[in-house]
Amino acid sequence: MINLILFGPPGSGKGTQAAHLVEKYNLVHISTGDLFRYEMSHDTPLGQKAKDYIAKGELVPDEVTIGMLRNKVEAHPEAAGFIFDGFPRTIPQAQALDRLMEEEKTTIHALLALQVDDEEIIQRIKLRGATSGRSDDSNEKIIQYRIDVYKSETTPVFDYYAEQHKSHRINGVGTVEEIFERLCRMIDTAGEKIKTVA
């Protein structure tokens, strides 16, 4: 089993790469956005809790999100591993995820962060904005703000896993295939380490 956290700024191609990794390594892709939509639309107990907080204009507490993650993980006992996308965003969330993995008798094996410089990201998103119809994809100030939020949120989490020797920076510039190859090399290296420890 191999469990990954995938980081990447908006426009880094993270979604595309996650889809390829899921296919190659038989992983279950866990996006917190998708989880929230699923739990709330199916009116599950956790979905109802989330709705209550959102209705009051409050942030959904980490324990609710972790509960959703637990449900998803336990619903896929056959999985060769999981790829977490959009979570964790803070150190307490990372610690909670580590506890959840421990309870499931596994661990996070690697955090992969796609590195793309700001100028490249801005150009990519503006190009996407020409066809996406999203106003926030064509406003450079909004794009820069999204990049800055990403950096401030993810840097502490990257450092947290770096202390466990699990964080890796991957060059996110090039063709989809080139970037995918770099990710695979890193994952295969992590996989070899797991086998050695086992």
Write out pLDDT tens, residues 64-99: 999 999 999 999 999 999 999 978 989 999 999 999
Percent of the chain with pLDDT over 70: 97
Compute the residue count for the chain.
Answer: 198
Is the bond into 45 cis (omega within 30 degrees of 0)? no
Is residue 198 scored above 60 in pLDDT? no
The amino acid at residue 142 is: I
Residue ranges of alpha helices (H) inside 42-133 are: 45-55, 62-74, 91-103, 118-132
Stretch 115-121: mean pLDDT, rounded? 93
φ, ψ for residue 118 (rounded to 5)?
-55, -45
Whether the CB-CB separation of 62 and 96 falls below 8 Å is answered with yes
Q: What pTM, to 2 d.p., does this model score? A: 0.87
Q: Would the CA dihedral through 187, 157, 151, 52 be positive or negative?
A: positive
Domain ranges of the chain: 4-197
Tokens coding 116: 């793309």
Q: What CATH number should be reported for the domain whose range is 4-197?
A: 3.40.50.300
Stretch 110-132: mean pLDDT, rounded? 91
**Residues 6 or more apart from 61 whose CB is under 8 A from it?**
53
Confidence of residue 195 (pLDDT cuts 50, 70, 90): low
Supply the pLDDT for residue 197. 47
**Residues 6 or more apart from 77 whose CB is under 8 A from it?**
none
Stretch 36-42: mean pLDDT, rounded? 92
Is residue 161 scored above 60 in pLDDT? yes
